[in-house]
Chain A
């Protein structure tokens, strides 16, 4: 696992070092997150707080290699309920929080570079830091973990001309189980601004 992270880090550093080169793209997006699977059992509510930051260097006209960092803040207030395990019963309101922060190396394939509508497919791999918190009453339990994560992405760049454009994307972060914490996988829909230079 450490080797994979090292390779990802090298790709990110390599991509960053070429930022002065032409034919690069940098963008920032507002992100909405939707939990899936195990994660949805922990928090079922849509997360309206999230940001993505992307950088890609165009190694060919159609292929961009780079990295992304971002975060989505999930939280949910559960109704007052009684939880029973064995002879113990506990009643109260639960508050569940999870901050998911992926750091990925990524590759995008652009189908129509230079066109007004430029759809693309992407794939990323890396790590995702998550901070999980469960609060009931005055008591709180938290854990911090790193997950291995893979991310397919589909999106479109709308380029009205010039260097700036709008890009819309959907991403699926498949964050594998890590330690005692189950999968923290989620889908995001994103919209933001992209600069090409």
Chain B
């Protein structure tokens, strides 16, 4: 009787405990989207309304060889992103000029893509000594769009220009191209809207 009772109690408790393993968390791709911004606290942005922007988004590949041309984000994506940046700069009071017109700032976007591989760890196997004889993995692509605003006129002694604002948009590179573009545009807008100090 006691053993039977003990078995029932343990079965209920273990079944309930396994129930706790059911994961909770993000459901949609945009639940993973984050926007980070930072700026130089001692820098005065006002009174500098002219800016230039690159016409392409450079891809950071991590293996750039000397003499080899850099890779760029395809124009199907980059055109919309660049237009969103321009629209947001305009709404903050900036005028777009060519870089040859000696602007106050240059906005330089770049993108980084990575493929992430996750392994199913055989937790039970770890304790009980069994293993998968074949790989159990899944992959997903993630990426970041970085926007650096540099003071074009402030050149250091070694010829380098100062970055005064950075916006980074990070998330999953998944979903249809229209969904992805909509998510990117929304996040780019968020980067500017949470950086009100840029306003002229």
A-side residues, CB < 8 A to B, are 19-20, 26-28, 30, 49, 51, 53, 71, 73, 75, 77, 82, 84, 86-93, 95, 97, 99, 135-139, 163, 193, 195, 197
Contact = CB atoms under 8 A, between A and B. Distances in A.
A193 B35 CA distance: 49
B6 to A, nearest CB: 7
A53 B11 CA distance: 11
Contacts of A97: 24
Contact of B13 (A51, A75, A139): A51
A163 B12 CA distance: 18
B170 A73 contact: no
Contacts of A88: 36-38
Interface string B176-200: 0000000000000010001100000
A55 B31 CA distance: 43
B5 A197 contact: yes
A93 B31 contact: yes
Contacts of B19: 49
B33 to A, nearest CB: 7
Interface residues on B, range: 20 to 34
A-B pairs, top 6 by smallest CB distance, nearest first, are: A137-B34, A92-B34, A51-B16, A91-B35, A89-B194, A195-B5
A90 B34 contact: yes
Given A51-B20, A91-B36, A137-B171, 9 more contacts: A77-B24, A77-B25, A87-B41, A88-B38, A90-B35, A90-B36, A97-B24, A137-B170, A197-B2
Given A87-B38, A90-B34, A92-B33, A138 B171 contact: yes
B20 A99 contact: yes
Interface in B1-48: 1-2, 5-6, 9, 12-13, 16-17, 19-20, 24-26, 31-41
Nearest to B170: A137
B25 A135 contact: yes
8 contacts: A49-B20, A77-B24, A89-B35, A91-B190, A95-B24, A137-B32, A137-B170, A138-B34
